[in-house]
Amino acid sequence: MPKFHYIALDQNGQETAGVIDGTSDTDAINQLRAQQLYPTQVVQEGKGDVSAIASRAKKVTRSNASGKGKPTGKASANLTVKSKTLMVFTRQLATLIDSGLPLLRGLTVLGRQEPVPAMKRTINTLADSVQTGSTFSESLQQFPRIYNKLYINMVKAGELGGVLEIVLNRLAEYQEKAQKLKNKIVAAMVYPVIVMFIAVGIMVFLMLVIVPKFEKIFDDMIPGGRSKLPALTQFVIGISRGVGDYIWYICIGIAALFIIWRVFASTQGGKVAIDRMKLKMPLFGDVQRKSGISRFTRTLGTLVTSGVPILQALNITRETAGNLVISEAINKVHDAVKEGESMVAPLESSNVFPPMVISMVDVGEETGQLPEMLLKIADVYEDEVDNSVSALTSMLEPLMIVVLAVVVGTIVMALFLPLISVIQNLQQ
């Protein structure tokens, strides 16, 4: 009977090597799988490069003897990772399971190649938990700061329905679209904040350094002192003196306002007021509203499509809404659905969702295609956010430049008006 040299992964993800008798390649592979081994290379003696696989087998043996490649210690429940790292893990795991690999082997493979130490420890701990008999969703509950309720409940629904690979693909798509939407909003907010800080820095520099030097020049050049200066120049010098004399009081006042704001924002009423203000802000409020609607419909649609019961899906969506005003509206929807009523009335009474969203939800309920309709709404509003961010950015760029130019130009004009008067007097 022919002999076959092999390298395989065991249930712990450790590589093992050896020789097995078999009638064919398929027979050898089946024997290895019956031994709970997952072959990565199988070569028959005399019909392949056995020397290469033998060399690899020696390395595997030495690695196992030295303990290299073993999973790291158990991960802490307080570990956190970036959303992008979690997104990549979900997509890779979905791809591996969709390709036919068992869950445990998929986790082991990902644990070996994961470059982020925190995520590597997490994956190895998940693999150990699954190996001891826990379900994947139960294993995920060990890390509440990495896997939220949305993630865990979707995985649980996928396990119960036997469609874990489909649910993981949906989760990966959800995370990718959520990350894309977040990046767009952050990009829209970053530009005006940077320009504002630059403008404030320039104004402080001019007021504390440049204007006082010009004031001394004016005192030496213009008889009569400050009273003979143009009104605009007197105004700018007055502000400069006030900033210079009270700079520490101004800093303390700003710090006090910041602390008061943080305390206010930590209260429930303060959070609601701030979130309501976000939705009503000029320019930015429209983007916040559309992104909130997109997140709500995308989350609810993904959960219901994955088999999560509607009431449980609404509870999860409420917790992941990202805005308390929208969360309150979702809570009213939950109460209405619990009583057997339609989602339309509470959505309409919230004054958060536009008529188009309400109409599409109504049609979805009537036709029994609510999950599909919610995902369509999410697609539409993600495009709306994209367009709004592009329009906002294109409008803010010239607006902020004009504001900065007016502020700096006013200060420069105030400083040069007296010099122009002096030059004219000298010419006369």
DSSP bridge partners of 18: 6
User: What pLDDT sits at residue 224?
Assistant: 59
Q: Give dist(CA 171, CA 83) in Å, integer.
A: 12
Q: Give dist(CA 41, CA 16) in Å, integer.
A: 11
Q: In this structure, are 58 and 125 located in the same domain?
A: no
User: What pLDDT sits at residue 225?
Assistant: 58
- In 3D space, the residue among 235, 176, 227 whose CA is nearest the CA of residue 211 turns out to be 235
Q: In this structure, are 100 and 212 located in the same domain?
A: no
Q: In this structure, are 205 and 342 located in the same domain?
A: yes
Question: Is 157 part of any domain?
Answer: no
Consecutive H or E run containing 252: helix 247-266
Q: In this structure, are 107 and 205 located in the same domain?
A: no
Task: Name residues of the chain where pLDDT drops below 70.
Answer: 9-15, 38, 47-77, 222-227, 426-428
Question: Is 169 part of any domain?
Answer: no
Question: Is 71 part of any domain?
Answer: no
User: What pLDDT sits at residue 70?
Assistant: 44
Question: Is 271 part of any domain?
Answer: yes
Tokens of 334: 């939950």
Contacts 24+ apart (CB under 8 A), 88-94: 89/114, 89/119, 89/123, 90/168, 90/171, 90/172, 90/175, 91/172, 91/175, 91/176, 93/168, 94/165, 94/168, 94/169, 94/171, 94/172
Question: Is 172 part of any domain?
Answer: no
Question: Is 217 part of any domain?
Answer: yes
Q: Give dist(CA 132, CA 126) in Å, integer.
A: 10
Instruction: Read off the pTM.
Output: 0.63
Q: In this structure, are 279 and 403 located in the same domain?
A: yes
Consecutive H or E run containing 7: strand 3-9
Last residue of a domain, one of 106, 132, 147: 147
- In 3D space, the residue among 204, 215, 213, 210 whose CA is nearest the CA of residue 237 turns out to be 215
| Half-sphere CA count of 256, side-chain side, radius 13 A | 6
DSSP 4: E
User: What pLDDT sits at residue 253?
Assistant: 92
Tokens of 382: 């993600």
Q: In this structure, are 334 and 276 located in the same domain?
A: yes
Last residue of a domain, one of 38, 66, 94: 66
3-state secondary structure of 397: helix
Q: In this structure, are 214 and 350 located in the same domain?
A: yes
Q: In this structure, are 191 and 121 located in the same domain?
A: no
Q: Are 236 and 415 spatial neighbours (Cβ–Cβ below 8 Å)? A: yes
**CATH, residue 100:** 1.20.81.30
Q: Give dist(CA 129, CA 120) in Å, integer.
A: 14
- Dihedral-angle region of residue 13 (phi above 0 means left; psi in -120 to 50 means alpha; beta otherwise): left
Q: How many domains does the chain have?
A: 3
Q: In this structure, are 250 and 127 located in the same domain?
A: no
User: What pLDDT sits at residue 263?
Assistant: 92
- In 3D space, the residue among 334, 345, 359, 352 whose CA is nearest the CA of residue 295 turns out to be 352
- In 3D space, the residue among 176, 162, 208 whose CA is nearest the CA of residue 92 turns out to be 176
Question: Is 268 part of any domain?
Answer: yes
Domain holding 231, by residue range, is 178-428
- Residues for the chain: how many in total? 428
Tokens of 262: 């943080």
Residue 186, amino acid? V
Question: Is 76 part of any domain?
Answer: no
Q: In this structure, are 322 and 225 located in the same domain?
A: yes
Rounded to the nearest 5 degrees, what angle is found at the Cα of 219, between the Cα atoms of 213 and 220? 95
Q: Give dist(CA 347, CA 158) in Å, integer.
A: 29
Name the residue with tokens 């690979």.
165
Q: In this structure, are 61 and 99 located in the same domain?
A: no
How far apart, in Å, are the Cα atoms of 43 and each of 26, 46, 333? 11, 9, 61
Q: Give dist(CA 297, CA 407) in Å, integer.
A: 43
DSSP bridge partners of 43: 5
Q: In this structure, are 106 and 36 located in the same domain?
A: no
